[in-house]
Amino acid sequence: MLYKTFSLIVLLGISTSLAQATDQFDQVTTHSSTDVEFVIVIPSYKNEEWAVENLRSACQQKSSRPFQVICINDCSPDRTGEIMDNYVKKHNLESFVTVIHNKENVGALTNWYNTIHSYIPDHKIVVNLDGDDLLAHDEVLLTLEKYYSDPDIWMTYGSAIAHPSGDYLPFMSQGIPDWVFSKKKIREYLFVSQHLRTFKAGLFKKIKKEDLMYKGAFAPAAVDMAFMLPMLEMCSPSSTTGKNHSIFIPEALYLYRTNNPLNLFRIRRKLQKDVDNFIRTKEPYEPLESLG
């Protein structure tokens, strides 16, 4: 059985704007929180222009399993939070969409840490969707189900397409070679574990809080690197015959917005580089035999 909340929309190409999609809904199917397996987490700041399109791409997902959406409005000074609330109310999505409103701006990594530790049980799979970006089509969760049907997979990373241009992003579309894992060189290798990023909440919770810090606070930049590198290290094979618990998905499942003037690579390039270098000096994590 496929769970759906929207009238299902056939997207003719992954670069097609979801804003052109119909906004008509089928009746929302209600599920108890204990049934939810995928949790799409959307941290958002000053994204009023893209909030509806972003939420639609998450909520329209088809899945054989119930899923949940958690949006965090990080004290946006614009109408981002209001637009989120109105969208959820208008379409009766309260049964599976939660909107959290921060009273002060705390930054992306603080939002990730607090949300996962406070709201998401260990066995559930976190799907990372930034507040200005989009899932590429309405069968992203169905695609992820195929990979997570293998109980030895604890995390995935993948490929992305630039939005709205539709350009291929080679730096966001490559896997990590096996030798990097076997020689424990993840922190020395190019950071290619890009969108779409997904992982078991229990794996994220094994990251030490102090390893997410920079100058006494949660890292203000290179946020994805801060939590992805430790998880990749923990997923590495524990022996020459061991299993790699991470996997690269070559299909582009993510539309990465390149025209947002608030992108950190535009406004905080030096800070991004400084935090990047700092994270790479951290002590590597040892591979895990299990998540238990």
- What tens digit of pLDDT does each residue of 106-135 get? 999 999 999 999 999 999 999 999 999 999
pLDDT given for residue 26 in this prediction: 32
Percentage with pLDDT > 90 across the chain = 76
pLDDT given for residue 173 in this prediction: 78
Place of tokens 């290179």: 222
pLDDT given for residue 21 in this prediction: 32
Give me 210's structure tokens.
Answer: 């102090």
Q: CB of 163 within 8 A of CB of 133?
A: yes
In the predicted structure, residue 215 carries a pLDDT above the cut 80: yes
CA atoms within 13 A on the CB side of 128: 25
pLDDT given for residue 259 in this prediction: 84
Residue 55 lies in a domain: yes
Residue 288 lies in a domain: no
Containing structural domain, residue 150: 18-280
Residue 26 lies in a domain: yes
- Least confident range from 6-15, 62-71, 72-81, 222-231: namely 6-15
pLDDT tens string 132-189? 999 999 999 999 999 999 999 999 999 999 998 888 777 777 899 999 999 999 999 9
Nearest to 70 by CA among 24, 127, 133, 7: 127
Residue 12 lies in a domain: no
Q: What is the mean pLDDT of the chain?
A: 86
| Domain CATH number, residue 136 | 3.90.550.10
Please name the residue ranges forming H helices in 60-99: 80-90
25 versus 276: which is more confidently predicted? 276
Query: Which pLDDT band, with edges at 50, 70 and 90, does 211 fall under?
Result: very high
Task: Please tell me the total count of domains within the chain.
Answer: 1
pLDDT given for residue 262 in this prediction: 62
In the predicted structure, residue 8 carries a pLDDT above the cut 50: no
Residue 8 lies in a domain: no
CA atoms within 13 A on the CB side of 33: 8
Query: Which pLDDT band, with edges at 50, 70 and 90, does 70 fall under?
Result: very high
Query: Which pLDDT band, with edges at 50, 70 and 90, does 7 fall under?
Result: very low
Residue 153 lies in a domain: yes
H-helix or E-strand spanning residue 248: strand 246-257
Residue 67 lies in a domain: yes
pLDDT given for residue 263 in this prediction: 59
Residue 1 lies in a domain: no
Nearest to 247 by CA among 169, 155, 143, 136: 155
pLDDT tens string 248-278? 999 999 999 988 766 555 557 889 999 999 9
Query: Which pLDDT band, with edges at 50, 70 and 90, does 31 fall under?
Result: very low
Supply the pTM of this predicted model: 0.86
